[in-house]
Structure 1
Amino acid sequence: MPAYRSPSRRLKRSPRALMAAGALGSAAALILTGAGPAAAAPPAPDEPVRSGQAWMGAGTRIEQGLASSAAGGGVTPMDTSGVQGIDVSHWQGAINWGSVKAAGIDFAYMKATEGTTFKDSRFSANYTGSYNAGLIRGAYHFARPDVSNGATQAGYFASNGGGWSKDGKTLPGVLDIEHNPYGAMCYGLSTTQMRTWINDFYTTYKARTTRDAVIYTTASWWNTCTGGWTGMSTKSPLWVAHWGTANPTVPSGFPTWTIWQYTATGRVGGVSGDVDRNKFNGSLARLQALANNTA
């Protein structure tokens, strides 16, 4: 474990469609049980995402392309060892969190906000339900650097689900910053402007919550849009998205990963459909330390 142990796209298609595309792979071995009502159908990978409707990984499917997204999302390896987690949004519909916990999931992140005006319609139910089921949980904000500065969005996030309390079950909030699903990859910002945006978000979020915001991204996006910036390496834990590989590629500027999103087409009892699967880089005790800010 390194000295600083603070804390990736979702291919939203039906299991039947994924099987037809040959993309479900070993994810089919994970049995779906105890799920709530079926989730709504999100945009297909070749369809535009409506404003406010993005999810963690919505930009990564564009970055990787449909073919590689399908292959990278659900074939092999499925690294279900160690401390496991999922991330969700309203696209999963109602979730049976007790069944999720029984399936061996220890932590979960859920979308809270996007930009400066959008709140996820399932956030409150997911945040409370996961907590009551005994999961360690946290919230994420889908970044929109094209609509406001970073400080404004950090404040909006902190006021609408991204807060933190030292209860041993609440993880620090996540800045989900990835390939723009609405337009230009880097949201029309230069590398210098993007660095400023991220730093302003981080500074404001920490001032509001006392916690370092986790950064969710991909190596390709970070290296391209920030120029491989090293400025967050000692401040923000890294959540890296890289599917279909035995070892994730870490963005330049970060020493290692804290959370790894290793598939976007996983299955978990309690969730009606595909869900992102994640792994924590450490023991459950270390995850609890992260939640308590003693890591």
Structure 2
Amino acid sequence: MMTVTTEGTSYKDSNFNSNYTNAYYAGVIRGAYHFARPNISGDAAQADYLASNGGAWSADNRTLPAALDLEANPYSGGYCYGKTTSGMRTWISDFLNRYKYRTTRYAVIYNTTSWWNQCTGSWTGPWTNHPLWIARWSTSPGTLPAGASVWSFWQYTSSGTVSGISGSVDRDYWNGDRSRLLALANNTA
């Protein structure tokens, strides 16, 4: 279970603390994610905001490294946030490096293949260390972003249901067994 944590440098989900804690006590392996806003502030500022507001990692057998959510800009400023492909690569790289510095973990990267290839110019740089969380609402994960050889998480719908939760929820698959998920949570992968 990944729970929204932060966006930019000013938004923190008001339900995050209770959701995150309740998931822990329910025995759920969980993590936080940060909705990137590359056009409103620097990469380090957003990585620091995430790490200081719920996105830190702890070796407790239930906490995944946080995810950096990179997707089409829903606000003004263009699909790729007004960044050139080299500017986007720099922003992402600096965010990932700062997050690793703050938490000792490699962040998960959440995105779609089309966004990644268009906005980063099919950059292959981060996939050696950063797990891919692919968003594709279909019957298969499809073609992966340039350079990514495997997906770790696949978000296959945004209209799923879960008993006890009202409304639609995102649903995801994990590409492996529980021991591999625990290895990612415990930094032993």
Q: What secondary structure, in the 3-state scheme, does the structure 2 residue paired with 1:274 have?
A: strand
Cα distance in 2 between the residues matched to 1:241 and 1:117 = 25
Mapped pair 1:271 → 2:127 = no
Contact 2:141-2:154 at 8 Å conserved across structures: no
Which of 89, 102, 111 is the aligned partner of 2:4? 111
Contact 1:141-1:175 at 8 Å conserved across structures: yes
Contact 1:239-1:259 at 8 Å conserved across structures: yes
Deviation of 1:276 (Å): 0.3
Deviations 1:112-160 (A, max 9, x none): 1100111111101110011110100110000000111111100110000
Deviations 1:207-255 (A, max 9, x none): 0000001000000000000011011010210000001223432111211
Which of 59, 73, 91 is the aligned partner of 1:180? 73
Which of 102, 112, 123 is the aligned partner of 1:229? 123
Q: What secondary structure, in the 3-state scheme, does the structure 2 residue paired with 1:273 have?
A: strand
For 2:181, the equivalent position in structure 1 comes to 287
For 2:113, the equivalent position in structure 1 comes to 219
Deviations 1:153-197 (A, max 9, x none): 001100000000111100000000100010310000000000000
For 2:31, the equivalent position in structure 1 comes to 138
More strand by share: 2
Letter in 2 for 1:130: A
Cα distance in 2 between the residues matched to 1:288 and 1:256 = 18
Contact 1:248-1:260 at 8 Å conserved across structures: no
Q: What secondary structure, in the 3-state scheme, does the structure 1 residue paired with 2:184 have?
A: helix
Contact 2:160-2:170 at 8 Å conserved across structures: yes
For 1:159, the equivalent position in structure 2 comes to 52
Q: What secondary structure, in the 3-state scheme, does the structure 1 residue paired with 2:173 have?
A: strand
Cα distance in 2 between the residues matched to 1:154 and 1:137 = 19
- Identity score, percent: 60
Deviations 1:261-290 (A, max 9, x none): 001100111210100000100001110111
When Rg is computed on C-alpha atoms for both structures, the one with the higher figure is 1
Unaligned runs of 5+ in 2: none
Q: What secondary structure, in the 3-state scheme, does the structure 2 residue paired with 1:252 have?
A: coil
Letter in 1 for 2:59: K
Letter in 2 for 1:280: W
Q: What secondary structure, in the 3-state scheme, does the structure 2 residue paired with 1:131 have?
A: helix
Contact 2:113-2:145 at 8 Å conserved across structures: yes
Higher relative contact order (CA 8 A, sep 6+): 1
Q: What secondary structure, in the 3-state scheme, does the structure 1 residue paired with 2:125 have?
A: coil
Unaligned runs of 5+ in 1: 1-107
Contact 1:242-1:249 at 8 Å conserved across structures: no
Mapped pair 1:122 → 2:15 = yes
Task: Choose 160-169 or 240-249, whichever is displaced more.
Answer: 240-249
The normalised TM-score by structure 2 is 0.98
For 2:145, the equivalent position in structure 1 comes to 251
Mapped pair 1:195 → 2:89 = yes
Letter in 1 for 2:146: S
Cα distance in 2 between the residues matched to 1:247 and 1:161 = 29
Cα distance in 1 between the residues matched to 2:130 and 2:11 = 24
Cα distance in 2 between the residues matched to 1:246 and 1:253 = 18
Q: Which runs of 4+ in 1 moved over 4 A?
A: none
Letter in 2 for 1:244: S
For 1:62, the equivalent position in structure 2 comes to none
Let me know the Cα RMSD of the aligned residues.
Answer: 0.8
